[in-house]
Amino acid sequence: MLIDTHAHVNFHSFKDDAKETLQRALDNGTWIINVGSQIDTSRQAVELASEFNEGVYAVIGVHPEHTHSQYVDEEETHFKSREENFDADLYSELVKNPKVVGIGECGLDYYRLPEDKTLHKEIKQKQIEVFKKQIRFAKEHDKVLVVHSRPEKGSDELYEDMLKVFEEEKVSEMRFEIHSYTHTPEYFKKFLELGAYVSFNGIITFDKTGNMAELVKLAPLDKILLETDCPYLTPIPNRGKRNEPSFVKYVAEKVAEIKKLSISEIEEITTDNARHLFRL
């Protein structure tokens, strides 16, 4: 059995076959945690989780890209983000559902900022404020904090800001996960020292820099999780296709190869880790 700890079958790419995609994963022995990016996709994650007795769960929250309005062109999709703050009243209704296991994906994203640099400080501050609100909400409801982090190219500023937020909000005292980290080993180690779980996805199957393999080697076995981040980041051998939770097995195979363990060992270890972190 495997657990895809970070999927987006609640996104537009799956509008015609979300339930079928989830059922296909379940039939293949894979459980799924669908992650929201704003109130609509958070609601959809909860609604999808409620359709299944077991094996489908939800994380709810506001992605940093949605804290200001912008055009986003991601792998497999493009959309206009709608500016959203974190409305605790709206999310308080959703968090009552027993299938909600985390808050997020929240965090910081400095990768795509407007050309007008006079807006950068304001946008970054807004992201930090919305992030802090969600950290406090996760603490209040005893849920896992699912953290997104994507820096500007060639800059460590985002990670310095994030570590400062973690210190101020005492994140080391709660359950939290760093999702899809791709930066330097230096900050990776700092997050691990704070008690973070770390999730790996299809990037490790096609990264040619060697950095992702190094991060997998550094990650303690009791802190590793698997994810797809579908519909994005499709792993080899399915590059060019829409990603889906069933493909998480290819991430497991690559982690096993890098860690020099059997696939069955990685399946057992990562599934136990996910169950423990998310209390599944």
pLDDT in tens, 256-275: 999 999 999 999 999 999 99
Domain that holds residue 84: 2-278
Q: What average pLDDT does the segment 108-132 reach? A: 92
Res 75: pLDDT: 47
Query: In the structure encoding, which two tokens stand for residue 239, read together?
Result: 């590059």
> Looking at residue 81, what is its pLDDT?
53
CB distance 41 to 61 below 8 Å: no
Count of domains forming the chain: 1
Q: What is the pLDDT of residues 141-182, one digit of tens each?
A: 999 999 999 999 999 999 999 999 999 999 999 999 999 999
Alpha carbon distance 234, 247 (integer Å): 8
Looking from the CA of 228 toward its CB, the CA atoms found within 13 Å total: 31
The pLDDT tens digits for 211-269 are 999 999 999 999 999 999 999 999 999 999 999 999 999 999 999 999 999 999 999 99
Cβ contacts of residue 205 below 8 Å, gap of 6+? 235, 236, 250, 251, 254
Using CB atoms within 10 A of its CB, is residue 214 exposed (0-12), middle (13-18) or buried (19+)? middle
Span 27-33, mean pLDDT?
Answer: 98
Q: Which residues does residue 178 pair with via DSSP β-bridges, in sequence order?
A: 147, 198
Strand positions, DSSP E, the chain: 2-7, 30-35, 56-60, 70-74, 77-81, 100-109, 144-150, 176-179, 197-200, 224-226
DSSP 174: S
Query: How sure is the predictor about 199, in pLDDT bands with cuts at 50, 70 and 90?
Result: very high
Bridging pattern class, strands 70-74 and 77-81? antiparallel
Residue with tokens 């792993």: 235
- The mean per-residue pLDDT over the stretch 89-96 comes to 97
Higher-confidence residue: 116 or 10? Answer: 10
pLDDT tens digits, one per residue of 46-86? 999 999 999 999 999 999 999 886 554 444 444 455 678 89
Per-residue confidence (pLDDT) for residue 78, from 0 to 100: 45
- Residue 33 · residue 101 · CB < 8 Å: yes
Give the CATH number of the domain where residue 25 resides.
3.20.20.140
Given this model, what pLDDT does residue 112 score? 85
Mean pLDDT for the chain overall: 94
Between CA 42 and CA 158 the distance in angstroms is: 25
> Do 229 and 8 meet the contact criterion of CB atoms below 8 Å apart?
yes
Q: Kind and range of the H or E element at 275?
A: helix 263-278
